[in-house]
Amino acid sequence: MIRELIVKTRTIRRFKEDEGLDETVLRELIDLARLGGSARNSQPLRYMMVTDRQLGARIFPHLGWAGYLVDWPGPAEGERPPAYVICLLDRHCCQGPESEALVDLGIATQNLLLGAAARDIYGCRIGSFAPDISGLLQIDGSRYKLLLVIALGRAAEEVVLEEAGPDGDIRYWRDRQQVHHVPKRPLADIIIAPGSRLSG
C-alpha cells in the first residue's frame, strides 16, 4: 500500500488551473508536514498558503520549471497551479546549521506530497525562484528565509516511471503524446555491499 502511494506521488508540472484548492485542504497537508521528524526537534519550518488567483498569477513568472526540458517555458495558461505552499525557515527556531533544516524540509514536503497524492492532488517542489517572491509575499527577510515553493493542483498530465538504461541517463523527458517519462536507477545499481569500491 505504501509503495503504491509512493509510486503515485509524482512531480506534476501541468495542472487543471480551473480546479482550485481551498485553504482547508492545504491546512490538512501542512499538518502532515508538521508531523514529520525534525533535527533536534527544533521544528524551524513555517508555511504560507497561497490560494488567491491574482497573487498566484504574480508569483508564477518568478518560478523556474523543469531544467531538463530546455525548450519548455513552463505550464501555459489553463495549466498553471491553482495553489502554492511557500516553505520558510524561521531563523529564530533554527538551533543547528541550516543544512539540518534542509533535511527537515525533505521529510516535511514528502509527507505533504504523499498526503496530497492520496487526495489525487499533485505538486512540484520548486527551488528555482527569483528573490522578488519574498517582496510579493511581504516576508520578513530578517527572520524568515524562503527555502522552497510547492505548486499544487489536480494533474493535467501523465507521468510514468521507467528503469534507467545502462548508459545511466536519468534525465526526464516527454514523448510525442506529451507523456512525461522519469527514469529511475535500477535497484541493483543503488545497493552496495560494505567495503565495495564505487566506480563511475
Average pLDDT of the segment spanning 37-54: 96
Rounded CA gap, 118 and 168, in Å? Answer: 31
Q: Give mean pLDDT, residues 115-144.
A: 96
For the segment 135-148, the average pLDDT, to the nearest whole number, is: 96
CATH number of 158-200: 2.20.180.10
* 69 has pLDDT over 90: no
pLDDT-derived band of residue 72, with 50, 70 and 90 as boundaries?
confident
Q: What percent of the chain has pLDDT over 90?
A: 87
**Residue ranges matching CATH 3.40.109.10 in the chain:** 2-157
- Kindly provide the b/e burial profile for residues 29-43, where b requires at least 16 CB atoms within 10 angstroms of the residue's own CB: bbebbeebebbeeeb
Give the H/E segment covering residue 25. helix 23-34
- Architecture label for domain 2-157: 3-Layer(aba) Sandwich (3.40)
The mean pLDDT value for 29-58 works out to 97
DSSP characters over 109-148: HHHHHHHHHHTT-EEEEE--B-THHHHHTT--TTTEEEEE
For range 110-138, the mean pLDDT:
97
Give CATH 2.20.180.10 domain extents, the chain.
158-200
The yes-or-no verdict on residue 193 having pLDDT over 70 is yes
* Strands 173-174, 180-184: pairing kind: antiparallel
- 67 has a pLDDT exceeding 90: no
Which pLDDT score, from 0 to 100, does residue 200 have? 53
